[in-house]
Chain A
Amino acid sequence: MSGYWGKVLRVDLTEGKITIDSLPEEWRKAYIGGTGLSAKILYDEVPAGADPLGPENLFIFSVGPFQGGSKVLGSGRFTVCAKSPLTGIFGESLGGGYNAEEFKKAGFDALVVKGKSQKPVYLWIHDGEAELKDASHLWGKTDTFETEDAIKDELGDRKVQVAPIGPAAENLVRYAGLICNYGHGCAGRTGMGTVMGSKNLKAIAFRGTQTVPIARPEELEKLKKELLAIAKDADFTKANRELGQAMAVVPREENGLLPMKNFLLDRWPDGAKKLGAGEGQDFNSVLKPKPDACSNCIMGCHRRVTISKDKYAMDSYGPEYETLGMIGSDCLIDNLLAVNKANELCNRYSLDTIEFGGICAFAMEAYEAGKITKDDLGGIELKWGDADAMLALLEKIAKREGDVPRILGEGMRVAAEKLGVSDPLHVNGAVVPAHDPRAFLSMAVATATSMKGASHLHGFPEAIELGVTFPETGLKELREPLDPHSPTHKGLAAAKFQDRMAVCNSVIFCFFYEFSGLDFTRLTGFLNAITGWDILPQELLKTGERIINLMNMFNIKHGMKPSRDYQLPKRFLTPHPKGGAANVEMPFDDMLNEYYSVRDWPNGVPSQGKLKELGLDFCL
């Protein structure tokens, strides 16, 4: 067996029992690993109606064949999946840093946790073994950074890597994530840290020294050399290293993708310059960041930042584009030091910065409309652009202080119902991230049909509107770039790029490398060299389609009605009068119907024929 250990670590926290399952070859080929494998396990084992915060839910930490031996560029990523406490449907988040490599080198392909521990514990996984250790001394006392330090000290090895949760997850804020490597590897979305909190699982610690076998090492090395030659000189690599993701703020303010004032505003050029990185912008001059890379990466888009003498002092990682967009421009906050501080606080508390930023903007709009008052917020005057009010709200949500902050900690869907706010900007409970779907119409379909609630990374078909074509589909419509403002072929693009991303999140690699040379043909080549398989890109794409269909069937099993639930908030159906996407008409229903037709999903439900074609007969 190559590319895999063939081992799934199973932990029953209720019983305190640890076992090891095999990972059969037919599952490896059908679901690969990461998100795909997690979808299969979650569909099979989480009963319909299970409480996401109950012992029946599973928490899955997994990697794929690219981790633990291949050192393919961009392979330093892991996935965490569960039934989401934020959305009630498929939950998924990916993180970078160092944990993916360390976990795989410890001898496992996936970790599946069920049940609930009576007392707080952490799981210590090392070279083929695992044990539960008491975490009572950490629970309620340490944030994610302190937890990581304490566990490394306790185990006496600074090379141990840790995936911890912080107070927000312990307090069951429904959008808490796993914040690893002091904010270098964040898996924030859909409340996967909250699921750990519900199980009294404070952290997972990894140490591994084993390298997974590679089937055809010479072929792999040749492919790696080819990719390195392209990637190291690629403009995107250089820009991402020099400027990081903050480089996207100003261009996206210009093209209408950046959220501004809870997606109400169409231009905010002066504010964007205070948050962005590039010529005449503040990010690099104010924060003086240093690039930092995940395992197996030459880009280093993460930013190491230290601010020592300021009321917003911090020492960890700076904000990326999504955080600058959601906590910054979406709240009209142009105070970069405060957004930077909020990013670190979210990381320490283990709050998702996308979800918190969206909730804060939502609350600011509700405050302006008089639906929330200063008294409701314990004295906070939550006005647009008020950085200190934002920071105060963050603390209250994480600590669950006061009725309204507690409600805001339940997520936007619940908060809108309880506070009487109409048309909240979420899809299936997850806030719409910093990609206004009016600017790139493919994203309207992909955001609405994301299997995990609104996400910019459930497909990212915007790529083809930025020049990443998809000839491996064999479709002439996707051989050339698409116009972002035209609805033509956008349902098709959304479907095929979702399939592609499902593969990306299962093998697993960082999609940024798609902009630096890692196209789908090369990706398939890597997979074959690592595993010894001989599959074609078209077959691999079919695997991606299988995974997406299975995620949808998981959602339907857990109560989703696609025709009702795969929709966009109404605010996005009206174009902005000004800005980069001014007056762009969005025929959303037409694009959605094209998507359903391409997928063979009448009214959003996979047809029997489609499920049989994909080998998903067990869903019938």
Chain B
Amino acid sequence: MTVIVKFFANVKKLIGKDEITLNLAPSRHYRIRDILQEIAEHQNKDISPFFTKEQGIHLRTVRVVLNGRIIYSLDSLEATVQDGDRIAIFPLLAGG
């Protein structure tokens, strides 16, 4: 199955790409957490500020959007990813 991951702002700068397409084994069950870990393992860069291999993702430094909907908390990263899903990754920012 195919999953498209887009990167924004500081995350894009760190990864060095706008987006990557992951071709994943259709037989395996992937959660969003697994996808992020996949990215962490395959990028030949120091992306530790945003991702760690142990956790898949740093809780408070990025925001994940799945198919246009925000994943509000770490627990939601257990959600299953399906063929054709679009994931966007942002720095965790807002303010006023």
Mark A residues whose CB is within 8 Å of B. Answer: 230-231, 233-236, 238-239, 242, 245, 248, 251-252, 254-255, 320-322, 456-457, 460, 463, 465-469, 471, 479-481, 483-484, 511-512, 515-517, 580
Contacts and interface: CB of A to CB of B under 8 A. Distances in A.
B70 A467 contact: yes
A234 B59 CA distance: 10
A500 to B, nearest CB: 15
A468 B92 CA distance: 11
B70 A468 contact: yes
Interface residues of B, number: 27
Residue of B59, B72, B74, B94 with highest tally of chain A CB at under 10 A: B94
A471 to B, nearest CB: 6
Nearest to B63: A467
Residue of A236, A471, A512, A517 with highest tally of chain B CB at under 10 A: A236
Given A236-B63, A239-B92, A484 B72 contact: no
Given A235-B63, A467-B88, A580 B10 contact: yes
Contacts of B13: 580
Interface string B37-61: 0000000000000000000000110
B80 to A, nearest CB: 19
B23 to A, nearest CB: 21
A234 B88 contact: no
Nearest to A455: B96
Contacts of A235: 59-60, 63, 72-74, 92
B64 to A, nearest CB: 8
A251 B86 contact: no
Contacts of B94: 236, 248, 463, 466, 512, 515
Interface string B67-85: 0111011110000000000
Interface of A is mostly: helix
B8 interface: yes
Nearest to B64: A467
B31 to A, nearest CB: 17
Contacts of A516: 72
A456 B94 CA distance: 11
Interface of B: 6, 8-10, 13, 18, 59-60, 63-65, 68-70, 72-75, 86, 88, 90-96
A439 B88 CA distance: 19
Contacts of A231: 72
A469 B88 CA distance: 11
Contacts of B8: 465-467, 481, 483-484
Nearest to A254: B10
B63 A255 contact: no
Given A248-B94, A456-B96, A469-B65, A233 B9 contact: no
A230 B9 contact: no
A210 B27 CA distance: 60
B33 to A, nearest CB: 14
A224 to B, nearest CB: 16
